[in-house]
Structure 1
């Protein structure tokens, strides 16, 4: 299965302008967010191509400086999926599977991508797949703290017994009440997608629906148009996963990077 990883990155983030170029300290020194995300993508074995996809020359120059291949798209791309769709069409990318590893997810371990590729190789129904990871107490508290502070943080997902996605939200779902049961029923949606080319191409032909508009979550457009989106539960293997959504997340991610070195 020929797989291509695209890393969409934009400078004009409403929550964190210039986010892809923010520096993150780790045991291997200080590197930009986009470089750490690119290194996460390059750690996946058996991938045919890896490209940073952006509309900003500052990101292009930064990415090329550390050896990344860059594909330029228009400023009109409204989200990472739209940016990937444009890149595939503009550059004539040929693949059996397109993986969108978002440029704010430097903690994505390679086995998350491996799990998506393996699922799509054996699942003839799913149009696309995305990972979910069961929250532990610490990650759930991060979600709840963001909501209490009025910050839009990570995304949660709910799915059926066949792992078909039912809904994604920036709120913490399902509602658990005052006492959170064990195992914790809240799943963190990892900002990582694997699409069949036909599903990705179809995305551009659909208008944004009301749910996507309200939540600001691109994956809801696939659900609103009846495609099968499969959630793939993944194991963090002791590693913490978190995206860089807000400035407060810089310290969180740097702490995780340091902790990973201690575990090695």
Structure 2
């Protein structure tokens, strides 16, 4: 997997600023990124942090010599797709997969990572560069399903803060792994019904969203309460003063539970009326 920071500490920083051009295929050209392989132990920790299982489809965007996709299939039982713009590396990856015995579980595509169809991924792995991650970010948020896991070696996503960060000591330096869950879209006005023991209550929930962070207001019983919450894929949780809510979001519908002070609880549901 791979692409960037260099082999030794200070040299890594220099290469980050001066990465050279890579070859492109017919009709496309790749980002200006130097290929440097992810150390095997770092790749394994990336897959562990993402919780990869045999039910996953792992996409490695900028897959280099294919080692991470091969490890996902060999060690975790997953299926995998490597996307690489350098044809010699694609060929190396395919040969390595056959030698390892996972050729039936993986494929390596000679494609531009900005044009590849990524909708089938349940896990996406990256070792690119901050600016390249930022260019990819709109596609990741738009095309990946809520709950898809993204792990990036050493490079973040600007103001899309990671859900988790892990440090891994490699042979020559410390590596950083960033982890995100793709959040669903909840922004807008929701008409809600709360069902406490004493009977149903109508409410209006106004939600604002910045990636996985959620804010807004809850209008209930003549009061307007501030909301603070967050998303984990399609799972929404928020508080409105003394009330705590959880719900699963499915498109324009929300359904879950709420808890009141004193341990009282009930179900609630909502339908989005307007989006933002």
TM-score (norm 1): 0.28
TM-score (norm 2): 0.27
Q: Give the helix-richer structure, 1 or 2.
A: 1
Q: Which has the higher contact order (CA 8 A, sep 6+)?
A: 1
Q: Give the strand-richer structure, 1 or 2.
A: 2
